[in-house]
Structure 1
Amino acid sequence: EDSWGQQVTTPHHKTSSISRKKEYSLLTKCVAEFLGDLTFVYVGTMQAHLFPFADGILHAAFAHGLTIFILVTAFGHISGGHFNPAVSWAIAGAGKMPIWHLPFYVASQLFGGFCGAMLTASILTQTQLSECSAGATLVSPGTQWWQGLIAETVVTFFLVHTILISAADTDTVTLAPLAIGLTLSIDILST
């Protein structure tokens, strides 16, 4: 109460339905992961069609980073917004998710990615898909496969590390989706 006897509420004491943490079923979490991966792969492959190869690196970084920012903001409170098996493995390994959820998350993510790619393939012609390598991540000419593997491992570490320190330990970090999206953009620009 304030000095006038009025009840005072602060942002930390709100009881609206938005501020209450709801527990979602595993099925709902898996649907969120499926939809997130479907969207992520669809946006990534369609932008690759519009801006193929090296000329489109800024577009790819922006499209992927912005998409992950939006998806983590939209679905993060439901499933954690992993959208990547490496992230799910790390979250489970850190004890932030029951280990038995892991195969369901990974299956949902892979199937969502597959459906996103199939959606793109149903829209573009075979020639259009070939011109952009169907949005696949490829190593640069003159780069050995093992160099690409090391580079991808390093940037995956950066992404997972950012997620673990910005989002996995707290429900109050509101900038986590932005940090995750920017990390993904930087990862794309650096590889």
Structure 2
Amino acid sequence: MEITSVNSYKDLESGISTKEKAFLLLYKNGANQSECALERLQNINAGESHNLFTADVTSVRDIHEHLEISTAPSLVIFENGKLVNIIKGCQSESAYRSILSGREIGRQASGEAGKSKQVTVYTTPSCSWCTTLKTYLDQQQVRYREINVAAEPSAAEAMVKRSGQQGVPQTEINGQMIVGFDKTRINQLLEIK
């Protein structure tokens, strides 16, 4: 897959203006989650060409400000030059394949008229149960936002305020906190049978 690096918002605009569908990975060089996202996108070897652009926010300052995106990594999806979706955090290679191919990812809640469940996973890099939880969610094709509480102390404080617990993994599903990898409770809240 060819990945095109852009150096300004103007470069991005000219790159996506003639494309029916285009993608931009905003990442921060040297940050674990960003390196993860960039590496996984580079590992995807699809037989077709995707209009994938990248911008390192440490050197390209105007794109994320113009798009009002404050999180890196973020995969931004454009259709006919217009921003239609933002996928934050590092996703699995299978999730990125689904996004780039245009297939829907994420599980729809059956009783909520098509509204997606909001899933946030709080992790640390050295947590083996965090990896188990993320692998399970990937297998179930559940889209989630991952927050590394070791790197984001304010997120760690917010997590403790919500659950009263400091340990990870913790999962927030539509505002309800689950401490640890409680597969039964996760399945119940996500309506996985």
Task: State the TM-score, normalized to the length of structure 2.
Answer: 0.24
Which protein shows a greater Rg? 1
Query: Greater share of strand residues, 1 or 2?
Result: 2
Query: Greater share of helix residues, 1 or 2?
Result: 1
Task: State the TM-score, normalized to the length of structure 1.
Answer: 0.25
